[in-house]
């Protein structure tokens, strides 16, 4: 689940990676390994990516983005994070793209497993690749081990199009070396209720395969992101279904 080579890295860096769909993938956006019980942890990360993808869909309209992430982990297992991003628009320069607020609780269980649950709210501006509803609130629960993890997220109003949805995902993380890691994710979005604006929503699959390489204080990322299904639930903008996402991030 963690897209860095070092699982002890600050949660803010992990959060930044996950919300880009790289190791967490998205939006996600939170590592399931709790901070040490001895002290609270604060983190801050700056990231740049050539595209911002949420479950295989470009939410930056295929444009480059820069993100700043802040996170806090309490010794009790409670955590919170706040993220903001700007996008390089075609005609207006840098403009605000998104804000993400996330909070939850993580607890380590026996046999190296960690349980995690919480809630997140994502809000996108009109500069995003979404032409209809531009916000989503979800509650989630997950379980993660050393290599594999799983999470399910439920939303009562998915981008203003589907009244109820559930998104399930299975993630894998493998450390290839001390500074190199590979991760992957497969997910399924299932709409349960249709709004008055869209009566033809179907299940959609998303997948991602990524590689992260640490070089000193900098982490380089590359991930192949893809999805199935139409564009109706995201506003019908028709972005590429498969894309290569490249990026770089560093903890402050």
Residue 178 belongs to domain with CATH number: 2.40.160.40
- For residues 45 and 83, give the distance between their C-alpha atoms in angstroms, rounded to a whole number: 9
Report if residue 3 sits inside a domain: no
Domain count, the chain: 1
Question: Is 6 a domain residue?
Answer: no
pLDDT at 236: 56
Residue 30: pLDDT band (50, 70, 90) is very low
* Cβ neighbours around 17 below 10 Å, total: 33
Number of helices followed by number of strands (H, E) in the chain? 1, 14
Would the pLDDT of 159 be above 60?
yes
In a domain, 121, yes or no: yes
Instruction: Give me the pLDDT at residue 47, please.
Output: 97
Domain for residue 5, yes or no?
A: no
Range of the domain at 120: 11-251
User: Would 52 be classed as within a structural domain?
Assistant: yes
In a domain, 4, yes or no: no
User: What is the model's pLDDT at position 40?
Assistant: 77
Per-residue pLDDT tens digits for 49-66: 999 999 998 889 889 999
For the stretch 183-228, pLDDT in tens is 999 999 998 866 545 556 788 999 999 999 999 999 999 999 999 8
Please report, for residues 24, 58, 157, 250, the alpha-carbon distance to residue 213 in angstroms, rounded to integers and kept in the order given. 16, 23, 37, 12
Give pTM, 2 decimals: 0.82
Mean pLDDT for 98-125 is: 94
Q: Is residue 225 part of a domain?
A: yes
Distance, C-alpha 45 to centroid of its chain: 14
């Amino acid at each position: 689940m963690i897209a860095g080579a070092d699982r002890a890295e600050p949660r803010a860096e992990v959060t930044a990676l996950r919300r880009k769909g790289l190791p967490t993938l998205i939006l996600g956006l939170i590592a399931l390994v709790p901070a040490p019980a001895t002290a609270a942890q604060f983190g801050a990360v700056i990231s740049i990516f050539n595209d911002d993808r949420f479950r295989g869909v470009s939410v930056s309209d295929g444009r480059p983005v820069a993100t700043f992430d802040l996170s806090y982990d309490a010794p009790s297992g409670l955590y919170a994070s706040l993220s903001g991003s700007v996008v390089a628009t075609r005609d207006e320069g840098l403009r605000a793209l998104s804000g993400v607020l996330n909070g939850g609780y993580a607890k380590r269980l026996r046999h190296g497993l960690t349980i995690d649950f919480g809630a997140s709210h994502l809000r996108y501006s009109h500069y995003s690749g979404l032409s209809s509803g531009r916000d989503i609130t979800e509650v989630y629960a997950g379980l993660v081990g050393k290599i594999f993890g799983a999470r399910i997220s439920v939303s009562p109003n998915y981008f203003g199009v589907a009244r109820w949805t559930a998104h399930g995902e299975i993630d894998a993380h493998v450390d290839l070396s001390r500074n190199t890691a590979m991760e992957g994710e497969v997910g399924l979005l299932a709409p349960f209720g249709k709004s008055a604006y869209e009566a033809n929503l179907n299940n959609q699959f998303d997948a991602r395969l990524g590689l992260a390489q640490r070089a000193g204080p900098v982490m380089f990322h590359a991930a192949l992101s893809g999805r199935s299904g139409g564009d109706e639930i995201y506003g019908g903008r028709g972005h590429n279904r498969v894309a290569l996402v490249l990026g770089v991030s560093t903890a402050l």
